[in-house]
């Protein structure tokens, strides 16, 4: 038996090691004023252990929440001593300091923190109420200049590459759609082509005919390539 087990059996062992969660919290909350520290620590422990009306959250979720808002807490600590001092404008500024999916993650974590603080009487009002995350918009598509177009055409020297260029240009086909295409997706007789499960009238017949011919020949040689990109 190990020494610790022997001492424990004799009632002489005291484990004074700090739990991993305590060490983690100490690192994450270092430099944060006591008033904010207490509120955040109580929130984290409730997430981990659950509460009277809440189920425990996973450690991964809990760590992600605190990791997401730690920079915000440190920034607030430069001018505030308690979460009661945080304003709606502070929440909006924290949200807008990041972009994309991170904005949503940050607001979700802040809402959770301030709901807990309000519920437990640590703040008088919740500054995250009615603060939304603007809907993400796709990036603006930029038109190719003539040089890019000429380069793509010049590189299309094989049947599969010529078909890839034609599908992308005419049908706006994405790479995954093109990779999964099969010869049966091309109906040359009726001038139809199926891309991504959608059938459409095709103006890419010359490229498609060249590709189907190459795949037929390849099949005879025991290989059957599909377009790659």
* Average pLDDT of the residues of the chain: 78
Q: pLDDT tens digits for 153-203?
A: 777 677 767 777 777 776 677 777 777 777 677 766 666 677 666 666 655
Query: 187: which strand partners?
Result: 192
pLDDT at 194: 75
- Position 17 scores a pLDDT of 47
End-to-end CA distance of the chain: 61
Candidates 41, 42, 24, 19; CA nearest to 32 is 41
Predicted pLDDT at 167? 72
CA 126 to chain centre: 27
φ/ψ of residue 187, rounded to 5: -110, 90
Write out pLDDT tens, residues 7-20.
555 665 454 444 67
* % of the chain residues with pLDDT over 90: 38
**Whole-prediction pTM:** 0.54
**What stretches in the chain show pLDDT beneath 70?**
1-19, 135-144, 156, 160, 170-171, 183, 187-192, 195-229
Comparing C-alpha atoms, which of 193, 228, 190 is closest to residue 208?
A: 193
- Name the CA dihedral angle for 209, 214, 220, 223, rounded to a multiple of 10 degrees: -130
């Amino acid at each position: 038996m190990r020494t610790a087990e022997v001492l424990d059996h004799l009632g002489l062992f005291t484990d004074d090691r700090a739990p991993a969660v305590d060490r983690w919290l100490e690192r994450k909350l270092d430099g944060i004023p006591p008033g904010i520290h207490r509120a955040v620590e109580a929130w984290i422990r409730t997430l981990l252990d659950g509460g009277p009306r809440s189920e425990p959250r996973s450690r991964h979720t809990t760590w992600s929440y605190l990791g997401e808002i730690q920079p915000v807490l440190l920034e607030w600590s430069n001018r505030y001593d308690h979460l009661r001092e945080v304003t709606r404008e502070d929440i909006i500024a924290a949200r807008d300091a990041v972009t994309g999916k991170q904005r949503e993650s940050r607001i979700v974590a802040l809402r959770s923190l301030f709901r807990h603080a309000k519920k437990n009487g640590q703040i008088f009002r919740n500054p995250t109420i009615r603060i939304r995350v603007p809907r993400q918009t796709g990036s603006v598509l930029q038109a190719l200049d003539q040089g890019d177009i000429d380069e793509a055409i010049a590189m299309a020297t094989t049947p599969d590459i010529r078909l890839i260029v034609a599908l992308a240009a005419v049908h706006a086909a994405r790479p995954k759609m093109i990779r999964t295409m099969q010869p049966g997706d091309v109906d040359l007789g009726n001038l139809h082509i199926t891309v991504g499960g959608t059938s459409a009238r095709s103006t890419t017949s010359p490229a498609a005919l060249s590709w189907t011919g190459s795949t037929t020949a390849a099949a005879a040689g025991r290989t059957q390539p599909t377009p790659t990109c």
